[in-house]
Amino acid sequence: MIAIIAILAMVALPSQNGAITQRRVVESLELIEPYKPLIVAYYYSHAGEFPADNEVAGLPDPDKIIGNYLEKVELRKGALHLYLGQKLPTQMHNKIVSVRPIFVQDSLASPVSWICGNNEVPPGMTAAGIDLTDLDVEFLPGRCR
């Protein structure tokens, strides 16, 4: 009986670690929320162009946007790339989760939305920047899969 409980506990442990890591990634994603409106405002005020980097967008330097599990955030051509680290296990340091604005090409009147990680771009929309996400899918929150 004890052996069965021990085996079940060992099987459940990896999924628990995945859920914990997902919550930590979500916490890191929440830290960039204040920057999204700045990127969208730049897009609208610059005739459909996204800012090239942190400086152009008026964001702090990449190594100044940090958190419990976040090492830095780089903006490249509108896409925010979150480099994980800090209090995460060493094997997850420098893993990236990308958050990209999506928009309707040639329609500045259309809204800008966002996708995360491996999430697909909806039909009729285009994503800015490149998806550099290399964090294992099991650690990505649902909205980033």
CA atoms of 99 and 50, how far apart (whole Å): 13
From CA 81, how far away is CA 77, in angstroms rounded? 11
Q: Give residue 18's pLDDT.
A: 87
Residue range 62-69: mean pLDDT, rounded: 98
Is pLDDT above 60 for 11? no
φ and ψ at residue 97, rounded to 5 degrees: -125, 120
Q: What is the DSSP string of the chain?
A: -HHHHHHHHHHHHHHHHHHHHHHHHHHHHHHTGGGHHHHHHHHHHTTTPPPSSHHHHTPPPGGGS--SSEEEEEEETTEEEEEE-TTS-GGGTT-EEEEEEEE-TT-TTSPPEEEETTPPPPTT-EE-S-----S-GGGS-GGG-
Segment 68-91 mean pLDDT:
97
Q: How many domains is the chain built from?
A: 1
What is the pLDDT of the chain when averaged over all its residues? Answer: 92
Q: Is 60 exceeded by the pLDDT of residue 111?
A: yes
Lowest model confidence (mean pLDDT) among 6-10, 34-38, 48-52: 6-10
Q: What is the CATH number of the domain that holds 35?
A: 3.30.700.10
* Residue 1: pLDDT band with limits 50, 70, 90: low
Q: Which domain does 77 fall in, by range? A: 2-144
pTM of the model: 0.89
C-alpha to C-alpha distance for 33 and 36, rounded to whole angstroms: 6
